């Protein structure tokens, strides 16, 4: 059966990508630059999201798209479920302060739904999160960014070649245990002392369309998903649709 995605490609239209847990669109911008038309879904209001946007629960939205058959409009799904339940930053420092563990684990139910779509997909999580496969790990230095920001990706239904890790040029600058360390990278997380200014964060991540600190510190640098999106589009077979 000819899928709507095949028709879009044959007509030279951008294939559609569903961006679950989209926040303000760090990942989305990279996919857009790679050649996708992107639709975001986030439970919080995200007026800075630069593309089509659905305000609501991501697993609920995905389940509804599967039930209605509308999922066939999409070629690829990206999911960045919130990591706070298990990621190292939370379990270490923050759990002792009572912050960790309050978030529902959304990775497993999201993966279950993604498998039902029959589409290629990717799930993203920071380092320290044990329960996704590390099919791909990206680092800001691979793209010459001002953040280290290691991120792991589990791929469903497709594969990608892991690029070689690039040696870091120095330290993450900021205060640690009363001492200031200089370095080429900023700490793109939290709001504590010595953290970068908004313009520093924007420049380091390559994000210009939001100045909300929380949105910047949650984002994947667009360079990561532009790399992933281009690799995915290159891996897809050329499409021919009968007249
Ligand atoms: C790590 S951030 C995603 C970052 C995004 N990929 C980017 O690159 O900018 C996780 C997002 O999930 C959202 N979120 C949390 N629970 C959600 C749910 N049940 N449904 C939809 N979004 C949710 C949060 O509001 C937050 O914006």
Residues with CB under 6 A from ligand 1: 21-27, 41-44, 57-58, 80, 82, 106, 218-220
| CA atoms within 13 Å, Cβ hemisphere of 185 | 20
Instruction: Tell me how far the alpha carbon of residue 78 lies from the centroid of ligand 1, in angstroms.
Output: 11
Among protein residues, the one with the nearest Cα to ligand 1's atom 15 is: 82
143-156 confidence digits (pLDDT tens): 999 999 999 999 99
Give me the residues paired with residue 38 across strands. 17
pTM of the shown model: 0.89
189-208 confidence digits (pLDDT tens): 876 666 899 999 999 999 99
Rg (CA), the chain: 18
Alpha-carbon distance of 71 to 139, in angstroms, equals 31
Q: How would residue 90 be classed by pLDDT, with cut points 50, 70 and 90?
A: very low
Residue of 27, 80, 127, 145 with the most ligand 1 atoms within 8 Å of its CB, for mutation: 80
Instruction: Tell me how far the alpha carbon of residue 57 lies from the centroid of ligand 1, in angstroms.
Output: 9
Among protein residues, the one with the nearest Cα to ligand 1's atom 26 is: 23
Among protein residues, the one with the nearest Cα to ligand 1's atom 25 is: 44
Angle between helix 222-235 and helix 26-34 axes, rounded to 10 deg:
40
Among protein residues, the one with the nearest Cα to ligand 1's atom 17 is: 43
Question: How many residues belong to the chain?
Answer: 243
Residue 152 phi, psi (nearest 5):
-105, 150
Among protein residues, the one with the nearest Cα to ligand 1's atom 19 is: 57
Q: How close are the terminal C-alpha atoms of the chain, in Å? A: 14
204-237 confidence digits (pLDDT tens): 999 999 999 999 999 999 999 999 999 999 998 6
**Predicted pLDDT at 239:** 57
Instruction: Enter the tokens of residue 196.
Output: 């970068």
What is the average per-residue pLDDT within 172-197? 85
Domains and CATH numbers, the chain: 4-158+218-235 (3.40.50.150)
């Amino acid at each position: 059966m000819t899928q709507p995605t095949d028709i879009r490609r044959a007509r030279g239209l951008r294939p559609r990508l569903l961006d679950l847990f989209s926040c303000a669109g760090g990942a989305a911008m990279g996919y857009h630059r790679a050649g996708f038309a992107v639709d975001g879904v986030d439970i919080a209001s995200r007026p800075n999201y630069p593309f089509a946007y659905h305000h609501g629960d991501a697993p609920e939205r995905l389940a509804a798209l599967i039930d209605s058959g509308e999922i066939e409009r999409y070629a690829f799904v990206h999911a960045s479920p919130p990591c706070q339940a298990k990621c190292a930053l939370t379990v270490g420092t923050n759990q002792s302060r009572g912050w960790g563990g309050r978030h529902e684990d959304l990775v497993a139910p999201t993966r279950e739904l993604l498998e039902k779509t029959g589409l290629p997909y990717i799930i993203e999580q920071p380092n320290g999160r044990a329960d996704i496969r590390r099919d791909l790990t990206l680092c800001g230095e691979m793209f010459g960014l001002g953040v280290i920001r290691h991120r792991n990706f589990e791929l469903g239904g497709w594969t990608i070649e892991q690029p070689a890790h690039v040696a870091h040029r120095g330290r993450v600058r900021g205060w640690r245990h009363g001492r200031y360390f200089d370095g080429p990278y900023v700490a793109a997380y939290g709001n504590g002392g010595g953290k970068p200014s908004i313009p520093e964060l924007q420049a380091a991540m390559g994000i210009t369309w939001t100045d909300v600190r929380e949105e910047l510190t949650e984002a994947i640098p667009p360079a990561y998903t532009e790399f992933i999106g281009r690799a995915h589009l290159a891996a897809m077979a050329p499409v021919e649709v009968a007249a």
